[in-house]
Amino acid sequence: MVETKIAPEKMAKMLNQWYGMIKRHQTAEAAALKEEIRSLLPHMDENQDLLIYFNLLDFRYKVLTEEKLEEADKAYCIIKGIGEENTDNMIVYYSLFFSGVYEFYKKNYVEAICFYQLAEAKLRNIPDQIEHAEFHYKIAEAYYQIDQHLISISHALKARSIFREHEEYKHRSIKCEMILGANMYDMYRFSQAEEHYQKALNEAKSSGFPKEVGIVYHNLGLIYDRKNIPKLAEEYFIKAIHIKEHLESINGVRSLYMIASVLYRNNQVAEARSWYDKGLEKAESLKEKEYEAKLKLIHALYDCHNDSLINEALQYLEQKNLWPDTSELNEQIAEYYLKQGNLIKAVEYYKRALKAKNQIMKVMEALA
Cβ(329)–Cβ(111) below 8 Å: no
DSSP structural state of residue 267: T
Structural domain includes residue 345: yes
303 located within any domain: no
**Alpha carbons 138 and 133: distance in angstroms, whole number:** 9
State the pLDDT confidence band at 29, using cuts at 50, 70 and 90: very high
Minimum mean pLDDT among 101-105, 198-202, 242-246: which range?
A: 101-105
pLDDT at 73 > cutoff 90: no
User: Is 77 or 313 the better-scoring residue by pLDDT?
Assistant: 313
Asked whether 226 and 258 are in contact (CB, 8 A), the reply is no
pLDDT at residue 256, rounded to an integer: 98
What are 142-190's pLDDT values in tens digits?
999 998 999 999 999 999 999 999 999 999 999 999 999 999 999 999 9
3-state secondary structure of 87: coil
Query: Is residue 342 in some structural domain?
Result: yes
In this predicted structure, the answer to whether residue 313 has a pLDDT above a threshold of 80 is yes
Please count the structural domains in the chain.
1
- pLDDT reading at 288 higher than 80: yes
Q: Is residue 300 part of a domain?
A: no
Measured distance CA(117)–CA(106) in Å, rounded: 18
pLDDT at 104 over 80: yes
Helices (H) and strands (E) in the chain, counts: 19, 0
177: CB partners within 8 A, 6+ apart:
160, 196, 197, 199, 200, 203
For 97, half-sphere exposure in the C-beta direction (CA atoms, 13 angstrom radius) is 26
Maximum average pLDDT range among 78-82, 346-350, 357-361? 346-350
Pick from 333, 336, 366: nearest CA to 352: 333
Q: Side-chain half-sphere of 297: how many Cα atoms within 13 Å?
A: 26
339: in domain: yes
Q: What percent of the chain has pLDDT over 90?
A: 70
More confident residue, 41 or 207: 207
Whether residue 335 lies inside any domain: the answer is yes
pLDDT in tens, 54-66: 888 888 888 777 6
Arithmetic mean of pLDDT over the chain: 91
pLDDT at 368: 62
Residue 346 lies in a domain: yes
> In terms of pLDDT, which residue wins out, 217 or 128?
217
Decide if 289 is inside a domain: no
Query: What percent of the chain lies above the pLDDT cut of 70?
Result: 95
pLDDT band at 268 (very low <50, low <70, confident <90, very high): very high
* Residue 232 CB burial class (10 angstroms; 0-12, 13-18, ≥19): middle
Q: At residue 366, does pLDDT exceed 60?
A: yes
Where residue 2 falls among pLDDT bands split at 50, 70, 90?
Answer: very low
Question: What's the rounded Cα separation, in Å, for the pair 235 and 220?
Answer: 10
pTM here is 0.86
3-state SS class at 304:
coil
> How many other C-beta atoms lie within 10 A of the C-beta of residue 35?
9
Between CA 143 and CA 184 the distance in angstroms is 13
* Structural domain containing residue 344: 321-368
Question: Above 60 in pLDDT, residue 18?
Answer: yes
